[in-house]
Structure 1
């Protein structure tokens, strides 16, 4: 997984680790471990982060370099 992408996206959006941890409903230290690749990120957190940053989960996990999310099914 491309953990550096989480950090870059956070910094590009002028957010702190504490801001993102609050958004996800976890402790800052837990989020820091996700960002550093020490802990696996739960899928529900990946979904929320992809929505927050308007990128695909595939981009977050390093499957693609295309940031654009897929169109939503209605």
Structure 2
């Protein structure tokens, strides 16, 4: 089970700072493959690694784990509280704002035509 937000942030921040996986793994004193597993959600970093990563990227642990860290270094200003959700097939953890929870609830209540329209606007392919 992985935290999708953390996985996305690790990849975004590494690329935004022009680091290679090898460079980050050296800073963490782990193998490149071990670090690669963090970015592909095969493994979750331990607390010491998370603290070191937050220091490398100059973000708080909360920002690294729960918020969207973008390429330009700007952290999404939305603050918690977040609602934890789980992606059913992979058991990955998602942290949703109240606005996102409301949108999901309305989507679930929408008609089939309205759902298709939302997917079209968001450029999301239909899942079976």
The TM-score by the shorter chain falls in which range? 0.7 to 0.9
The answer to which structure has the higher strand fraction is: 2
Choose which of 27, 30, 36 in structure 2 pairs with 1:26.
30
Larger Rg: 2
Asked if the contact 2:38–2:44 (Cα under 8 Å) also holds between the matched residues in 1, the reply is yes
Normalised TM-score (structure 2): 0.49
Q: How many residues align?
A: 66
Tell me how large the CA RMSD over aligned residues is.
1.4
Q: Which runs of 4+ in 1 moved over 4 A?
A: none
Alpha-carbon distance between aligned partners in 1 of 2:51 and 2:39, rounded to the nearest angstrom: 15
Normalised TM-score (structure 1): 0.82
User: Does 1 or 2 have the higher relative contact order (CA < 8 Å, sep 6+)?
Assistant: 1
Alpha-carbon distance between aligned partners in 2 of 1:9 and 1:65, rounded to the nearest angstrom: 10
**Deviations along 1:39-67, whole A, 9 cap, x unmatched?**
011000000000010001111112x3474
Unaligned runs of 5+ in 1: 68-74
- Find the counterpart in structure 2 of residue 4 from structure 1: 8
Question: Within the alignment, does 1:54 sit opposite 2:68 as a pair?
Answer: no
